[in-house]
Amino acid sequence: MKNANYIINGILVVAVIVLFILHFSEGKSNQLNNNGSLGGDSIHQSLLPIAYIRTDSLLNNYKLFKDLNEASMKELENHRLDINQRKQRFEKDVQDFQQKVQLNAFITQERMNQEGSRLEKTRNDLERYAAQIEQSLSEKQMLMQQQLQDSVLSGLKLFNTPQKYQIIFSNIGTDNFYYVDNVYDITKEVVDFLNARYTPAKE
């Protein structure tokens, strides 16, 4: 009789343990599905809090970059035209001078030396002017890059408020990453966000 009681009690204990295991296993399964690690409908909830932006694509589609780049190209073209016109005028003056020397058109040696000195000064002034323009364009390019960087960074802070990502990487082409799943690519979302808050400057 005692043996029968032991057997029954043993079966009950085993049954309680099995029920206990089944209960907590079901709870973990539901929790995993709620977190999206097993549930296909909420897979984005299981992603790491990181993302990346394709910098080249962002720049090609960001309206601010397009406007700044267009303005920079126009200014560069205008300066090149100006410098080339100055060079052409200088080269014509040099040709006229050389022709006068060959034809012995100068009345005195002093007059020829004066004209030669004037052309030398013009050449030096032209070189100095071209260097100043190049320096000015370089400084404006740096300011443009700083303006663009400030705009993107401040925009990203707003884009990531409230905080969705703890890290946002950037890459150019295929650099920096050997492989990253496209699900972490937020380039289009960021471009759309930046363009939506961009207001072109009035001319």
* Residue 125 DSSP one-character state: H
Number of domains, the chain:
2
pLDDT the model gives residue 180: 82
pLDDT the model gives residue 17: 42
In-domain check, residue 202 = no
Structure tokens at 186: 């937020």
pTM higher than 0.75: no
In-domain check, residue 29 = yes
Q: How far apart are CA 5 and CA 3, in angstroms?
A: 5
Q: 128 φ, ψ to 5°?
A: -65, -40
In-domain check, residue 203 = no
What residue numbers bound the domain in which 36 lies?
Answer: 2-46
pLDDT tier for residue 53 given thresholds of 50, 70 and 90: very high
Q: What percent of the chain has pLDDT over 90?
A: 64
Tell me, yes or no, whether 26 and 70 share the same domain: no
